[in-house]
Amino acid sequence: MTKAFTVFKDKLLEIQTQTELLEKCLNQTDNKEVEKAAILEESNIKESLKQRKHHLDVRLKELDIIQAKLKEGSLVLNKIKIKLEDKQNFDFNQDMILHWINFSFIVKEIAENNLHPIKLHDNYKKGWKEFIDIHISLYNLIVKLDYEETQSEDKDIKYVIKEAFKHALKALIDMGLRISLLSNEEVENLNLGDIDSKESKNMLVFLSSVKQWDSVYKKLVES
């Protein structure tokens, strides 16, 4: 703590010295002092540019991650779509549930990597808002299906699907608030209820496996 304070104190003294030097240059025309001020200003400009470049590099790295995850999510979503379109052999088998869990956590990663506020490019901002809105609508549909009368094994599957998607939705809501796409009032008006998932990804994968084998075991007993 003492060392930290000493460093902070030295920094303050350095800032004070620079301020006094600049003030002195404004009040006199000493060439040496003016030259010192010019060097100091150039140094500050270089430091500012260095910091901006660092922030830009960080943001570009984030965007690379987001782009890769969006592509990955699209591929997984396409696998789910193919399964849904295959009506003859449609079944919420373990592969289907694992695809869904994977997709939910990819969306979570996308949201968590989008850290910086979006100040420009309205179309880009609009695109993220639509991305959030679609997932909110999908979650409401999942909740609606969850309340419908179904067999016990289907309820188990719905539980895994709902808990997995909560991870994605919670991260998206947090992202929306962080980059000012949503206000606290808007989130409250959504009436989403508790979107904090009680299950980890590993547990959801485990549960999907258990439910699958429970169903197989039950069929064997009944045969």
Give the residue, 89 or 169, on which the prediction is more confident: 169
Q: What is the pLDDT of residue 165?
A: 92
Q: Give the residue-averaged pLDDT of 12-28.
A: 61
Is the CB of residue 193 less than 8 Å from the CB of residue 139?
no
Query: What is the domain partition of the chain in residue ranges?
Result: 1-90, 91-222
Q: What is the pLDDT of residue 220?
A: 41
Contacts 24+ apart (CB under 8 A), 155-159: 156/207, 156/211, 156/214, 157/92, 157/97, 157/208, 157/211, 159/207
Helices then strands (H, E): number in the chain? 7, 0
Residue 83: is it exposed, middle or buried by C-beta count within 10 angstroms (0-12/13-18/19+)? middle
Spatial distance between the Cα atoms of 72 and 34, rounded to a whole number of angstroms: 57
Spatial distance between the Cα atoms of 68 and 59, rounded to a whole number of angstroms: 14
For the stretch 169-219, pLDDT in tens is 999 999 999 988 899 999 999 888 899 998 899 999 888 877 554 554 444
Q: What is the pLDDT of residue 91?
A: 54
With 0.75 as the threshold, say if the pTM is over it: no
For the stretch 115-165, pLDDT in tens is 876 655 677 788 888 889 999 989 888 888 777 656 556 777 888 889 999
Q: What is the pLDDT of residue 49?
A: 76
Q: What is the pLDDT of residue 23?
A: 61
For the stretch 43-81, pLDDT in tens is 777 777 778 778 778 888 888 888 888 888 888 888 877
